[in-house]
Structure 1
Amino acid sequence: METAGGNSSCSCPANIFSRFTENEMEGQLFFLFAQVCILLVLVNLARIALRLVRLPQYTAELIAASIMGPFALGKISWVRDTLFPIAGLKAMVSFSSTSGLFYAFVVGLEMDPSLIWTSSRQARLTALSSLAMSAILGTAMSNPLCQMLNLQINCVNIRLILPLFIALTGSPMMIRQATEMKLGTTNVGQLGCSVAVLMDVACLSGMALVSLSPVLHQATVNHDLFEPFMALLYPMVIYTLVGPCVGLVMRSKQSGVQLVLVMVMVLVCTGLGEAVGYNGLVASFIFGLLVPRKGGVATDLLDRLFYPVRYIALPMYLNFGQQMAKYDASWHIALKGPAGLPIQAVLVVSVVSMAAKVATALVMASVYKAPLNEGIILGFLLNARGFSDMILISAAVERKVMDLRIKSLIINASILNSMLAALAVLTVMRVTKRPEPTAEPHQVIERQGHGTKLRLLVCLHNVVDVTSTINVVEACRGSGALPLAVHTLYLIEYNEQTAAQLMYRRSATDTLVGGEMKKIDATIEAYAKDAGVQLRRNSAISFFFNMHEDICHKAEDMKASIVILPFHRVQRLDGKMQLRSSALRRLNKRMLYYAPCPVGIIVDRGLGGATLRSATRMCHNIIGLFFGGASDREALTLGSRMAEHPGIHFTLVRFLPLSQIQSSTATTSGDTPEGARRSVHTYEEAMNPETLPTTSPGSNTVFISIAMKEEALDKKSLENFRTMYEETGIASYREMAAKRGQEMVATLQALDAECTLFIAGCGESQACTGLSGCATDCPELGPIGGLLSSSNFSFTSSVLTVIKWMNSRYSV
């Protein structure tokens, strides 16, 4: 629009959000809210991308902050003007600075100080050697690096900062990376945890002294020891007074007020630490480090603070640092003159940092005769970067010993170091990886003799699986005289809820992951003590999409006879089955394909009651359903062992196909020719075709098919069961006709009223053809297992479906 004076004016706002931000305070909060929302989206997208390529997800926040910062989106003028205007800078500075303090507090919670005095001699020697190597290489590379950067004044600062940067290791990040790569409970993973904590404590102590250098210098000049005394008194006050106060606050019932009080304590104690001379990040880190670990105080705080701190506070702090430094300009200027940051300088620092730790790890592996691949993995694991670099940058900038080029060098070298080290660890692991589980079974219960030790691998997902699992284990004890080996495997999904608590694991049997695992441990221990059963506890910590590898490897190591898995649904109060985890169902389907032994899936409908009690005095009526086939024979063998338990009444119900019943009736009446009467041969004849009678060319030749072999094996198994259990009165035996559709459902419902547990196979014989019209929700369990586990029919008994190697019948 043109005015009378000829001047043109535009009514378009300078920012597309200006109409929402007329008030200054509202505008700052609006821009802050927009930045947080975009960061949340970017962090989740980065995590998804890293998971797809199997890379550690601990760098997702750094990637998100880099994308949102001036390195990527910040280069676009309209994005920079929209998201980071001058009007929104004040709120971002305040929020980001506070976010850095809370992140430092969480890192202090994650670091376990007990590793300092419980570390092994090898860990201490490795840490000292790595520190010495870092100091030597850092000092040697200082002068060439000064020439690359064309530094004249700050060359002395490089000699101080570079050895410290090379020696630093982000121990919480390293532990997280090792856990994601399934190295957390291995020897190399535990050694790496101890070495990383020792190195970080040594370096952070040095940086704390650097942050206190003005106080110490002032005390030397004025001959006044009051300020140094207050600085030394700060951690003692935190340990003796504030730490127990945090424990008292977190001891009561969980509520939002607790977190508010803890956050206020963090800010107050950080302010006190800054008043006595500490850097703010260092003071907040010391507070988190000295919070008591007993009683689950630290793990509870981590569980509740981890998500907002990792997803919001950390990316905002990193983005704030990039906005303030604008280190992307260094890369741009590097192509034009020596004042910028050459890329080769970043590469040199990253390579020297990795070389120092890899060389030290290889030397120590040679001294302690450890495998070469473990030494290489340990060396690259120690190159994980994290919070220690942030403290180094913050303390150095605060004391004015780091200019923009050195800061850019440290930031870019830290990012490059983390990415290259993670890729190197993955490469070494894939080269030396244990072979993938094959889809070929090597153990079946059917082939084991009556007195052979039964090896159970029982998998537990949460506390609702405990009662049914204990009752199944107790039933498998039989009379008590049969040998039994039980291994429990806790299926712990690696996610943001469990990641922080996994920092305190020391072995595969240590399960400090939430209150449910503690309840499971207590219940399993009580049952083992009462029943006199030796139980070996283990844990599988992984994402659900590859957790089957851990289970299969454990089954192979212990030569498991059967793997017991929980069902992916739980029973509601109205009796219907409710989905609890679709990922658990996909895990079960993968196990049905890859398991090296039979798999049993428990559908729990209150087996053993609702209380966590011992099952040694249980009393159950168990019905085994036998239709024929390999899986049914496995279920029959397992049920036979249960039949010997004094508290179990076992009944085997064999379902005969209608065609077989009609054939038997016709044969009895004498209407069938003599040559056709002998349709089923003995077990020896079925398995050895040479023993079959030969016939003349004009007669009916007998062909041995797979179905005839299976029929002979079924007959042999039933004969053995009836001889050992029915004739001795240990168990009962019935035969029924396999009906079709609703008639078969009615038959099973009648049996359901007589028992508390069904044991069945997946139904591979012709007797199950009549159930093909019944709609089931779980086709992977077969016609019988899918029918008994369905919510469409009013079954009240629990179900144990035994499946022997599903191969590729169902998609995984």
Structure 2
Amino acid sequence: MSNLFGGKYNIVNGLNNEFKVCYNEERTFANTDWQVTNPLLKSLPIFMLQLSMVILFTRTFIIVLTPIRQPRFVSEILAGIVLGPSALGIIGWVSSNINPFEGALLLETMGNLGVTFYMFLVGLEMDLTPVRKMGKTACSVAIAGIVLPACGGAGLYYLVLQKEQENQRRPLEGGLFWAIALTVTSFPDLARMLSSLKLMYTDLGKTALTSAVLTDLSSWILLVAVVSAVNGRGKLYTVIPTMLFLVVSWFLMRPFILWAVKRIALRNESSMESRYNEKQVCYILSGVLLCGFFTEICGVHSMFGAFMFGLMIPSGELGTMIMDKIEEYVVGILLPPVFLITGLRTNFAHMAVEHTSHLVIIVILVASSVKVVSTLLVCLYLKCPIRDSLALGVLMNTKGVLAIIVLNEGRNVKGFDQQTFSWMVLSILIMTGLVGPIVSFTHKSTRYTKKYYRRNLERSKVEAELRVLACVHSSKNVSGLINLLHISNATRKYPITVFAVHLVELTGRASAMLIFHDKTRTTDVIGNEINPISRGKAEAEQIVSAFESFHNNNHAVYVRPLTAVSSYASMHEDVSNFALDKGVTVILLPFHKQANAHGGWTDENLQHKQVTDNLLANAPCSIGILVDRGLTPPYLPLGSQHDRKRKCRIAMLFLQGPDYREALAYAWRMAGTSGVMLTVVRFIPAKDVVEFAESDAGDGGGDDDDDDDEIFAAMFEKEKELLLDDDYINEFRFRTMHNQSISYIEKQVNSGDQIVSIIRSTYNDFDLYIVGRGHGMQSPLTVGLSDWSNCPELGLIGETLGAADFLPSGSVLVMQQSAPLPSAPKKIVSSARKKGLFKTSGQPSAVPFVNHRKADDYY
């Protein structure tokens, strides 16, 4: 033991990698017995400076690391490390003015207060319902994520213990803190990670969240027991007061709180704003401090009482109101001191002091990977896909504030010294930092979604079950979409599953969420009950009621109403991922404009157009955009003639390409509905138009082989599309030739203007027009129509039909297939040229099994 003098500090070196710091505090007294200088005047400015600096660095790291999918927790840890002895803390001015020893007391006090309220929010956000309904996979993952990492943490502790010098003795309880630190899966951070990756409502996300609930609950119970035993110096009876408090809280306080909350809600049920006010929120926040005080008396940290109190508050409007009011303050103001304390205790420069570098690497690698490996092995044993198993293992390795709390508690009982504490902090950074990039690569990469981009109606059987994702922005969109689903031919043998999604802009929350509705209650994706009135969603109840009424009137339709709360910029990702996870075939969207009383259009919301455009570019299935002008299903009686059923007349206008084949596929399905009359009109370019188009393509040649390949690639793609069009039309005609409700017509036309003229003069009295968007299609028949295109999401023909001055009545459904066909590779094109598959005489190649009939030739 030795004494060192560093300025105003007297540093006493001791054993076991610890030292004591003593300093003299100057106080000014007046001539009276009272102290003139307030002691807080020295500590408070230091604390305010520390808080400002850690918040500044946190925000900076968030801006820098968000593009590489790093959660906020990583930025907060890095901010504390930068201000600590690993980086800026080695500068004398920083250590003496920002991180002086005398500021540690207030910093830790505020950090403990922040941890207390944060754990209350964790308990408030956590719901134990999924634990009771946990599946085999989630339960197995949770158990493996508890047992194996705990054994790994304890094993690492004793491995380090054996490698240390004999005079460095540590308590055996330190191994328990190592075990708990590796066991923890941060439920709040995992939920935000899944939300940012748009995976929260997938099967993977729900399994991860359910497992995290059980893992966090088990880790919390273990931490309570260990802290009580350590504070009681190993005497087990010291745990009894804590256990008694938990029993009284759950079986006496919780029923009373539920009764009080329910009574307040019933008393203010008529209120449209909120059934709870500021007074109830203040009472609950006071209860947090009171429960924390009781657990401190019992010998454990106040955070345990706060967490228990949060679990007792019922989820719903009250919980949401509390979260909205204090979450940002707790996370943004009260919690940063915890990360600064962690950074001050971390020193990466001295990680290998008194330890070999091999031991350091082994501990960090094992600590970072033991939970991933255990989860991966269990998932593979259950025959889960390797991709999902790896992603689930990485997700279960998500750490958060609770892991930091465990490390600091272990540091307080000397289970960690500065070196091993730094090892674990680095391991936690590695664990959490890899979650976003790995899961993003396995479940968000183009390679993963590529094979799903072919889900569409064209390749589905007409009689197969149809899975539809119907998106509505407001109640104005409901009637048109429901009437469209009415004529989509739902039968008991071949039903339709409708996921009715109410798209709501994200406001007042940190992360997006998905809310499921049923007749008894409204829940989010992990089972937390939510009151729709609390979010001002009276309109949501109206939408849900409309779709439930639709289901009651047609038992061949299964409807699952839900609400997607997300920002407009990323709303398409929520819709696309949900469609991908549920195997949806077609997404139905309302047109972003609404008809006004004067026959024109009104821009309802340009942000709705943004969602539509993003879905058209990224959706994993087909898209249908409905321009509703009062579409009416055919089963309604016509006037007072109840013995007659109204006919619904549908016109399908076919040009060319995958979008038009998709439109024909949907029209084909509708034709099976009783009372629906379908007329398919195919527009074929006249001979002069074909010759002109081919000669124009031939004039674009050159001597360069690459240019020739591009020209022949375009010709190859066009020939392939023509073959697909003709094959699908032939199949349609053959299978419907005896159906009296279906008519097929071919029209030879020379231009887009002629198409418009024919529609206006001959086909202007239909209830519904179905066309393809024709995205990326180049046809001589549409030349001239693109000069005045203002709504590219409808396509050229769709926009013409949707114009208010073109058709005063008749709704329009514009279809786009999931994704364009890939371009022909150059080597395939070169091979095709050598085989003479492309003709250079200006005549189109022969199309097998096709016999184009004259105009107006019916069968």
TM-score, normalisation: structure 1: 0.68
Kept after mapping to 2: 8 A contact 1:188/1:374: yes
Is 1:599 aligned with 2:623?
Answer: yes
Match of 1:101 in 2: 116
What's the CA shift string for 1:470-529, capped at 9, x where partnerless?
211102228x69955445374989979484756999998989788467765554343223
1:207 aligns with 2:223: yes
Structure 1 distance, partners of 2:90, 2:223, is 34
Asked whether the equivalents of residues 759 and 801 of structure 1 are also in contact (C-alpha less than 8 Å), the reply is: yes
Change (3 A) 1:280 1:792: farther
Segment drifting more, 274-283 vs 539-548: 539-548
Measure the CA separation in 2 of the matches of 1:64 and 1:147: 34
SS in 1 for 2:556: coil
Residue 529 of structure 1 pairs with residue 552 of structure 2: yes
Relative to structure 1, the CA distance from residue 426 to residue 677 in structure 2 (aligned partners, 3 Å threshold; closer, same or farther) is: closer
1:801 aligns with 2:825: no
Contact 1:547–1:587 (CA under 8 A) maintained in structure 2: no
Name the aligned partner's letter for residue 320 of structure 2. D
Code of the residue aligned with 1:528 in structure 2: it is H
Post-superposition offset of 1:384 = 1.9
Which residue matches 2:33?
none
Structure 2 Cα separation of the partners of residues 157 and 789 of structure 1? 73
Out of 159, 163, 173, the position equivalent to 2:189 is 173
Determine the structure 2 residue equivalent to 1:17.
none
Residue-pair matches, total: 721
Does residue 759 (structure 1) correspond to residue 759 (structure 2)? The answer is no
**Residue of structure 2 in register with 1:330 after alignment:** 347
Aligned match of 1:304: 324
Structure 2 residue 128 is matched with structure 1 residue 113: yes
Q: Is the Cα contact below 8 Å between 1:192 and 1:378 reproduced in 2? A: yes
AA of the residue aligned to 1:470? I
* 1:314 counterpart = 2:340: no
C-alpha contact (below 8 Å) 1:511/1:518 kept by paired residues:
no
Identify which of 381, 392, 417 aligns with 2:431.
417
**Shift of residue 144 of structure 1?**
3.6
Contact 1:116 1:198 in 2 (8 A): yes
Q: Distance in 2 between matches of 1:513 and 1:202?
A: 26
Report matched runs for 1:79-158 at 5 Å: 97-120=112-135, 127=142, 131-146=146-161, 152-158=168-174
The alpha-carbon distance between structure 1 residues 299 and 461, as it changes in their structure 2 partners (threshold 3 A), is farther
Residue ranges of structure 2 left out of the alignment (5+ in a row): 1-37, 517-521, 638-645, 692-714, 824-859
Instruction: Work out the CA distance in 1 between the residues paired with 2:380 and 2:680.
Output: 61
Rounded to whole Å, the distance in 2 between the matches of 1:710 and 1:195 is: 48
Shift of the alpha carbon at 1:133?
3.6
The reply to whether residue 579 of structure 1 matches residue 606 of structure 2 is yes
* CA–CA separation in structure 1 for the residues paired with 2:103 and 2:722: 80
Distance in 1 separating the partners of 2:45 and 2:631: 54
Instruction: Compute the RMSD of aligned alpha carbons.
Output: 6.1
Amino acid at match of 2:310: G
C-alpha deviation, 1:104, in angstroms:
1.0
Alpha carbons of 1:552 and 1:287: their partners in 2 closer, same or farther (altered >3 Å)? closer
**What is the Cα deviation at residue 287 of structure 1?**
1.1
Matches of 1:733 and 1:98, distance apart in 2: 76
Q: Does residue 436 of the first structure (1) align with residue 450 of the second (2)?
A: yes
The one-letter amino acid of 1:532's match is H
CA contact (8 A) 2:572 2:615 kept: no
Match of 2:798 in 1: 785
- The amino acid across from 2:257 in the alignment is V
The corresponding residue for 1:772 is: 786
CA gap of 1:768–1:502, structure 2 versus 1, over 3 A, is: closer
In structure 2, the residue matched to 1:242 is 257
Q: Matched residue of 2:484: which SS?
A: helix
8 Å contact from structure 1 (residues 175, 503) kept in 2: no
What residue in structure 1 maps to residue 488 of structure 2?
476
Q: Is the 8 Å Cα contact of residues 327 and 404 (structure 1) preserved in structure 2?
A: no
| Percent identical residues | 19
Q: Identify the match of residue 388 of structure 1 among 374, 378, 402.
A: 402
Give the corresponding residue for 2:289.
Answer: 267
Whichever residue aligns with residue 477 of structure 1, its letter is N
Structure 1 residues not aligned, in runs of 5+: 1-22, 609-613, 664-675, 680-702
Are residues 741 and 383 of structure 1, via their aligned partners in 2, closer, same or farther at CA, if it must alter by over 3 Å? same
Deviations 1:176-233 (A, max 9, x none): 5456556656666555444443333233213223444588679999x99889755753
Task: Tell whether the 8 Å contact from 2:397 to 2:435 is kept in structure 1 after alignment.
Answer: yes
Residues 347, 413 of structure 1: 8 Å contact kept: no
| 1:458 corresponds to | 469
1:393-439 CA distance string (max 9 Å, x none): 45446667666555544433322332246556566668997451477
Q: CA 1:440 to 1:195, structure 2 compared with 1: closer, same or farther past 3 Å?
A: closer
When structure 1 is superposed on structure 2, of 282-291 and 346-355 the one drifting more is: 346-355
Secondary structure at the aligned position of 2:215 is classed as helix
Per-residue CA distance 1:82-104 (angstroms, 9 max, x = gap): 98899999997776554333321
Greater helix proportion: 1
Q: CA deviation at 1:286?
A: 0.9
Q: Deviations over 1:279-306 (max 9, x none)?
A: 121111111122224xx3476357635x
Separation in 2, partners of 1:56, 1:65? 15
User: Shift in Å at residue 531 of structure 1?
Assistant: 0.8
- Distance in 2, matches of 1:775 and 1:415, equals 51
**Letter of the 1:300 counterpart:** T
Following TM superposition, by how much is the alpha carbon of 1:323 offset from its aligned partner in structure 2, in angstroms? 3.2
Scaled by the length of structure 2, what TM-score is found? 0.64
Question: 1:52 Cα shift?
Answer: 3.3
In 1: Cα distance, 2:755 partner to 2:230 partner: 89
In structure 1, distance between residues paired with 2:620 and 2:664: 20
Change (3 A) 1:769 1:167: closer
Contact 1:176–1:503 under 8 Å retained in 2: no
Residue 320 of structure 1: CA displacement?
A: 0.9
Look up the equivalent residue of 1:576 and give its one-letter code: T
Query: Paired residue for 2:8?
Result: none
**What is the CA distance between 1:132 and its match in structure 2?**
4.4
Between 508-517 and 122-131, report the one with greater CA deviation.
508-517
Amino acid in the other structure paired with 1:384: T
Residue pair 1:788, 1:795 contacting (<8 A) in 2 also: no
Q: State the AA in 1 paired with 2:178.
A: L
Q: Partners of 1:77 and 1:583 in 2: how far apart?
A: 53
Question: CA–CA distance in 2 between the matches of 1:371 and 1:205?
Answer: 32
Moved more, 198-207 or 483-492: 483-492
Letter in 1 for 2:157: S
- Deviation track 1:92-126 (CA, whole Å, cap 9, x = no partner) reads 77765543333211211232323444445666566
Q: Secondary structure at the match of 2:469?
A: strand
Q: Which amino acid aligns with 1:458?
A: L
Secondary structure at 2:468 match in 1: strand
Aligned counterparts, 1:59-74, within 5 A: 59-63=74-78
Distance 2:464 2:794 in 1: 27
User: C-alpha offsets along residues 747-774 of structure 1, whole Å, 9 cap, x if unaligned?
Assistant: 979999x676543333676554443332
2:588 aligns with one of 528, 542, 564? 564
Distance 1:139 1:394, change over 3 A: closer
